[in-house]
């Protein structure tokens, strides 16, 4: 960390260390400035969108924005912009990073009415108002790292570092923080933070005029469909507090709110409950669910075919439409992937991990434009793309340091194998091995597969043999 970054971090610490949480009213240590926090959110947003893609439906987007802003209007944290992003994946999930709330196609299919939508959005806004992303980094890496990250994230758009080593340290710090936050999309924020967000989300939905029973009804539906592997519900529930506990907490909070009407105790908690009680006891405020409106707008979205993305059976993954299969050693765990990943795999202790990704080349104009063969400045569409060309086209966006690259022959054919060093998806420094595989003998029909394998520095060599077994197991039918 250079002197300028250190002085900035010190300034951030002295200015921001004594902050009051707008939700609880309690004093907290906030080393990261609001600018740095929102920059973290924007960069994390870009990474998640790159992974899962967006739903292109202006009418739906306008509707979600309307409900989202209605919820935001009653939250404690004003003065920042809130964006609502719709991800095109059947994975049932909702997630928040500073300033951004994500909703997936899968969770919109599961939600039954507008009141439930408001409670889900409210829960995610609760993560933002409670500063959970900042606290997650702080908990994982400590105050020292957070001070460094705050300095880096605070200047993310105007880096002035000249030494290549400083740039390496700059991006290492930045992407460790972003990697940890974006990994939370699948792993959640942890039991305590999720329950805190439930309390905030319930309050926001009720204060916005929605049915107070909506959050509990949504949780009950989640619980009844807990084993729906095709939409990722099991993953969603596994990374959140037990659903029955969440339902009990919601009912408890409503009960405490109703009993707090004559309670004169001071404090933010009692004030929040009194606000809910005033709405529930009001004869003027409507408690809406807007079932018909939600059904008309959201149910008009064409649904994705959940059976088209392959199946996991024991240690084997198969995808009939793509005609592929992959096996992992018995000590590894396979799980359906979402976004770019067809399937992900990891050791039971989580130290080593990887995934199989798929790419349809015809849908990638950038890759086509980078083909070497051109006639009068126009790309020759019949020229085959090689695995090495594909690798070289995507390496600049990987944010990894390349160490080696070469062609290797496997039972399925040729692959270009690159080894890299950088930050993995949970924010750890790691060695990463990526296999680029191109299939097809006609340009229009070419597609590609990536087998990614990675492990932290200290454990990488322990898993090399397993990595090779996994890649060598890939078969095309």
CATH at 332: 3.40.1000.10
Whether 187 maps to a domain, the answer reads yes
The answer on 325 and 284 residing in a single domain is no
Residue 278 corresponds to which tokens in the numbers above?
A: 């005033």
Please tell me the predicted confidence (pLDDT) of residue 37: 87
Choose between 47 and 264: higher pLDDT. Answer: 47
The answer on 326 and 259 residing in a single domain is no
Choose between 275 and 204: higher pLDDT. Answer: 204
The answer on 325 and 261 residing in a single domain is no
Whether 249 maps to a domain, the answer reads yes
Please tell me the predicted confidence (pLDDT) of residue 2: 46
The answer on 433 and 385 residing in a single domain is yes
Choose between 264 and 334: higher pLDDT. Answer: 334
The answer on 288 and 326 residing in a single domain is no
Q: Which residues contact 213 (CB under 8 A, 6 or more apart)?
A: none
Choose between 66 and 188: higher pLDDT. Answer: 66
Beta-carbon-side half-sphere exposure of residue 239 (alpha carbons within 13 Å): 15
Query: Does residue 272 surpass a pLDDT of 50?
Result: yes
Instruction: Map 414-474 to HEC letters.
Output: EEEEEEEEEECCCCCEEEEEEEEEEECCCHHHCEEEEEEEEEEHHHHHHHHHHHHHHHHCC
Angle, helices 143-154 vs 132-141, to 10°: value is: 130
Are 184 and 136 a contacting pair, CB within 8 Å?
Answer: yes
The answer on 340 and 234 residing in a single domain is no
The mean pLDDT value for 146-170 works out to: 53
Of 240, 265, 296, the position where a domain reaches its end is 296
The answer on 189 and 335 residing in a single domain is no
Lowest mean pLDDT among 38-42, 96-100, 180-184: 180-184
Whether 301 maps to a domain, the answer reads no
Choose between 140 and 447: higher pLDDT. Answer: 447
**pLDDT-based confidence at residue 148 (cuts at 50, 70, 90):** low
Please tell me the predicted confidence (pLDDT) of residue 157: 45
Please tell me the predicted confidence (pLDDT) of residue 184: 77
The residues pairing with 28 across neighbouring beta strands, listed in sequence order, are: 19
User: How far apart, in whole angstroms, are the C-alpha atoms of residue 474 and residue 461?
Assistant: 22
The answer on 396 and 256 residing in a single domain is no
Residue listed under structure tokens 């088209």: 308
The answer on 262 and 316 residing in a single domain is no
Whether 105 maps to a domain, the answer reads yes
Lowest mean pLDDT among 204-213, 304-313, 343-352, 386-395: 304-313
Please tell me the predicted confidence (pLDDT) of residue 28: 81
408-419 residue pLDDT tens:
999 999 999 999
Are 42 and 99 a contacting pair, CB within 8 Å?
Answer: yes
The answer on 342 and 271 residing in a single domain is no
Are 321 and 307 a contacting pair, CB within 8 Å?
Answer: no
What 438-442 contacts at long range (C-beta under 8 Å, 24+ apart), as own/partner pairs, is 438/384, 438/385, 438/386, 438/387, 438/390, 438/414, 439/413, 439/476, 440/384, 441/384, 442/382
- Percentage of residues in the chain with pLDDT exceeding 90? 39
* Domains contained in the chain, number: 2
Are 121 and 195 a contacting pair, CB within 8 Å?
Answer: no
Residue 191 corresponds to which tokens in the numbers above?
A: 């039991």
The answer on 334 and 290 residing in a single domain is no
Most confident of 159-168, 170-179, 245-254, 377-386: 245-254
85-96 residue pLDDT tens:
999 888 888 999
The answer on 405 and 289 residing in a single domain is no
Q: Which phi and psi (to 5°) does residue 190 adopt? A: 100, 155
**pLDDT-based confidence at residue 366 (cuts at 50, 70, 90):** very low
Range of the domain at 322: 306-476
Whether 94 maps to a domain, the answer reads yes
Query: Does residue 119 surpass a pLDDT of 80?
Result: yes
Please tell me the predicted confidence (pLDDT) of residue 69: 98
Whether 393 maps to a domain, the answer reads yes
Please tell me the predicted confidence (pLDDT) of residue 231: 52
């Amino acid at each position: 960390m250079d002197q300028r970054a250190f002085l900035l971090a010190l300034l951030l610490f002295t200015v921001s260390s004594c902050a009051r949480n707008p939700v609880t009213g309690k004093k907290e240590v906030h080393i990261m400035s609001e600018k740095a926090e929102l920059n973290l959110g924007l960069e994390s947003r870009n990474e998640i969108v790159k992974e899962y893609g967006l739903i292109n439906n202006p009418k739906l987007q306008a509707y979600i924005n309307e409900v989202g802003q209605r919820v935001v209007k009653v939250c404690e944290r004003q003065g920042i912009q809130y964006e609502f992003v719709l991800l095109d994946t059947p994975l049932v999930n909702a997630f928040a990073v500073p300033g951004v709330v994500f909703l997936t196609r899968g969770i919109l299919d599961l939600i039954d009415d507008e009141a439930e939508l408001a409670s889900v959005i409210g829960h995610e806004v609760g993560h933002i108002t409670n500063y959970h992303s900042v606290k997650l980094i702080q908990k994982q890496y400590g105050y020292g790292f957070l001070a460094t990250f705050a300095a880096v994230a605070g200047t993310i758009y105007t880096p002035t570092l000249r030494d290549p080593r400083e740039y390496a340290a700059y991006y290492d710090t930045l992407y460790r923080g972003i990697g940890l936050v974006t990994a939370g999309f699948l792993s959640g924020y942890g039991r305590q933070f999720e329950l805190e967000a439930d309390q905030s989300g319930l309050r926001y939905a009720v204060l916005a005029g929605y049915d107070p029973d909506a959050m509990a009804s949504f949780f009950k539906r989640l619980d009844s469909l807990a084993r729906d592997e095709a939409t990722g519900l099991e993953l969603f529930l596994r990374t959140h507090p037990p659903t029955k506990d969440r339902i009990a907490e919601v009912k408890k909070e409503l009960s405490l709110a109703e009993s707090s009407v004559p309670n004169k105790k001071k404090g933010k908690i009692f004030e929040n409950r009194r606000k809910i009680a005033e709405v529930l006891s009001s004869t003027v405020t409507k408690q809406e669910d807007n079932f018909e409106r939600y059904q008309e707008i959201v149910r008009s979205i064409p649904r994705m075919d959940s059976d088209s993305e392959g199946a996991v059976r024991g240690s084997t993954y198969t995808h009939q439409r793509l005609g592929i299969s992959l096996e992992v050693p018995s000590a590894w765990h396979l799980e359906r992937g979402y976004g770019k990943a067809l399937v992900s795999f990891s050791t039971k202790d989580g130290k080593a991990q990887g995934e199989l990704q798929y790419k349809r080349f015809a849908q990638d104009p950038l890759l086509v434009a980078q083909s070497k063969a051109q006639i009068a400045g126009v790309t020759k569409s019949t020229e085959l793309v090689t695995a090495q060309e594909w690798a070289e086209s995507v390496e600049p966006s990987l944010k990894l340091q390349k160490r080696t690259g070469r062609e290797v022959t496997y039972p399925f054919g040729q692959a270009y194998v690159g080894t890299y060093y950088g930050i993995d998806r949970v924010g750890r420094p790691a060695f990463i091995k990526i296999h680029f595989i191109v299939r097809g003998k006609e340009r229009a029909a070419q597609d590609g597969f990536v087998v990614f394998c990675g492990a932290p520095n200290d454990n990488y060599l322990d898993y090399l043999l397993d990595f090779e077994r996994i890649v060598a197991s890939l078969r095309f039918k």
